Structure 1
Amino acid sequence: MIVEGTVLRGRALEPVEGRVVVEDGRITAVEEADVDSDDIVLPAFVNAHTHIGDSIAKEAGAGLSLDELVAPPDGLKHRLLREASREEKIEAMRRSLRFMESSGTATCVEFREGGVEGVELIREATAGLDIDPVVLGRETVDAMRDADGFGASGARDGDFDRARNATREEGKLFGIHAGERDSHDIDPALDLAPDFLVHVVHPEPVHLDRIEDGGVPVVVCPRSNLVTGVGVPPMRELADRTTVALGTDNVMLNSPSMFREMEFAAKLGDVSAREVLQMATVNGADVAGLDYGCVEPGREAKLLVLDGDSDNLAGARDVVRAVVRRAGVDDVKDVLL
């Protein structure tokens, strides 16, 4: 397979005119050349934090606080999940996964409620699709063992030492929410030596030092934080200290569109368009230990092709900036997963 156009090459997402050569599902070459194509070729997105079980309750709970919406065990989302049938949950998740796939997302890192059954549900929802979620089980060690790791709700919600130790023994991912509503649970979360933190809206200088010293990546979700009223993550400060990735969080609150998340991040945070696109691609892949998210030889060929001659993108002088701040689902020409 050969894909031609303006290629956003390497970790730096350097725009070059040319082609990407793919053999047996891997990129074998990125060649600079004069080509007759207005397409924009970039890595498919890695949505580094989702809760897609919430797909059964889109836009529910207007006006509720963060705890009322999502706090276990009796936040609105948890009550609605308990009330929904197995078939309803699978179909709702399948729709969100299908939307992510068609809009250029190669994978999402899913914090999966419901224990072992919750892990089984998303596996069923993914059947027949090309998107390949990284599933982090919640609530029980058995769920972690059936999944790709463990996704903890937050240090104030319980004792996760046993889950952390078991995850480490299994060599799997351990992620935890921290610093979403305040700074009080950041130190306890860091004490668990997680593979990554989610949110970190309210870090203090000591937390930033610990994050940097420990090399702990952070996944930010700015749209979700705005909806729940907890603030905006300090993306510049975090990016200066560690790897920062981007996630869309609860489908109840926001669509799982990485285009929308990138635009918000770029316009709200003191970070460049290039940094935001890295957060949405290669940084997320690094957090999840994936071999894609970057257009360079040797990587898995999971690519997104945008129509650079669409009415929305035609005439763009800065391709990376246009992809981050302007592009949308309507500009997607092909998704190669």
Structure 2
Amino acid sequence: MTDETATTTVEGTILRGTELEPVEGRVVVEDGEIAAVEETSVDSTDIVLPAFVNAHTHIGDSIAKEAGAGLSLDELVAPPDGLKHRLLRSASREELVTAMRHSLQFMQASGTAAFLEFREGGVEGVEHLREAVEGLAIDPVIFGRETVDAIDVADGFGASGARDANFERERLACRKADKPFAIHAGERDPHDIDAALDLDPAFLVHMVHPEPHHFERVADSEIPIAVCPRSNLVTKVGLPPLREWLDRTTVALGTDNVMLNSPSMFREMEFTAKLCDVSAREVLQMATVNGAEIAGLNCGVVEPGKDAKLLVLDGETDNLVGARDPVRAVVRRAGHADVKRMVPGERV
């Protein structure tokens, strides 16, 4: 394994800065931090970019992959008796931890450095995820759910939606603990969006069905949004108005429920780029820069002073060789098989 405490260099076409501008050169890493980005001629055809930050996941649902075909959104995931909640309650700790670890290993191997998890199960659910991620080079930002005391052991609280309960108590607890509060909103229809915005969350999830005044409220408040387009189509709620949201606030990309979709940011980016009115560069920003910003992480950008969480793609694979535009190639074409290296490698 690579000793990431020593100085190391990564060479190739670097997608640099918040604009992900392709430059030829090398990234110098010292003690886990980017020390320099040197623009110079190199022999490598690799593509070096920020590792992904998955802005919305339900990793616990790894216990129920591809269950519930043909069920409605409420039948699948609505608390407390949607299919996923019944399966979560019936699974043992060992089953849950093992299933989550498989998904986390896949995420790490396919370029994800961090993820924002809405974790069911209260305090115990948070503990299960921390056990599952132990030793992996992927960082969880855990939003506890279901019980207010989950806030004590999690990084914040993730509410199911304002139609399900009054979350003012959890919001107040997050303020007192100086931790973020986030909430699903506008997934099925617009009727829970105002109540969600009234809670002044750190970010909103989904926002598929806004009404005109919601665009104004979000723009005025500058509340970020995590979108999950693949999940939204699987559950038949439609696609979020991405162009309108990008014009008004910070938008990040998530893969949502492992029950319904693989936690692959490559698949999410390609799907989003090809079905929504967004550029490849905007999609890659949503998967890196913006996700890190929402999570408050010092990564997502290849620049000196940032944590060295890098993804290196092999530019000579049969899939990527000859690509004329590296940003479009990463977003619309690249996949798990093109990953050459993650920096850092696995922790020991």
Please tell me whether residue 160 in structure 1 is matched to residue 131 in structure 2: no
In structure 1, runs of 5+ residues without a counterpart are none
Choose the corresponding residue for 2:277, options 270, 273, 278. 270
- What residue in structure 1 maps to residue 342 of structure 2? 335
Please tell me whether residue 294 in structure 1 is matched to residue 305 in structure 2: no
The answer as to whether partners of 1:194 and 1:216 remain within 8 angstroms in 2 is yes
* Cα distance in 2 for residues equivalent to 1:259 and 1:173: 27
The aligned runs of 1:89-100 (5 Å cut-off) are 89-100=96-107
Please tell me the residue identity of whatever aligns with 1:77.
K
- What residue in structure 1 maps to residue 178 of structure 2? 171
* Cα distance in 2 for residues equivalent to 1:286 and 1:80: 33
SS in 2 for 1:133: strand
* Structure 1 stretches of 4+ moved >6 Å: none
Please tell me the residue identity of whatever aligns with 1:101.
Q
TM-superposed deviation, 1:139: 1.1
TM-superposed deviation, 1:144: 1.2
Choose the corresponding residue for 2:291, options 273, 284, 293. 284
Choose the corresponding residue for 2:45, options 24, 33, 38. 38
Sequence identity, in percent?
A: 76
Choose the corresponding residue for 2:220, options 203, 213, 234. 213
Q: Deviations over 1:171-203 (max 9, x none)?
A: 111110000000000000000000000000001
Q: Deviations over 1:67-102 (max 9, x none)?
A: 000000000000000111110000000000110011
The answer as to whether partners of 1:5 and 1:39 remain within 8 angstroms in 2 is yes
* Cα distance in 2 for residues equivalent to 1:173 and 1:103: 27
TM-score of the pair, normalised by structure 1: 0.99
Please tell me the residue identity of whatever aligns with 1:154.
G
In structure 2, runs of 5+ residues without a counterpart are 1-7
The aligned runs of 1:131-142 (5 Å cut-off) are 131-142=138-149
Please tell me whether residue 252 in structure 1 is matched to residue 283 in structure 2: no
Question: How many residue pairs get matched?
Answer: 337
Larger mean Cα displacement after TM superposition, 138-147 or 228-237: 138-147
The answer as to whether partners of 1:173 and 1:288 remain within 8 angstroms in 2 is no
TM-score of the pair, normalised by structure 2: 0.96
TM-superposed deviation, 1:264: 0.7
- What residue in structure 2 maps to residue 317 of structure 1? 324
* Cα distance in 2 for residues equivalent to 1:219 and 1:267: 18
SS in 2 for 1:154: coil
Please tell me the residue identity of whatever aligns with 1:327.
A
Alignment RMSD, CA only?
0.5
The answer as to whether partners of 1:6 and 1:17 remain within 8 angstroms in 2 is yes
Q: Deviations over 1:195-229 (max 9, x none)?
A: 00000000111001101100100000000000000
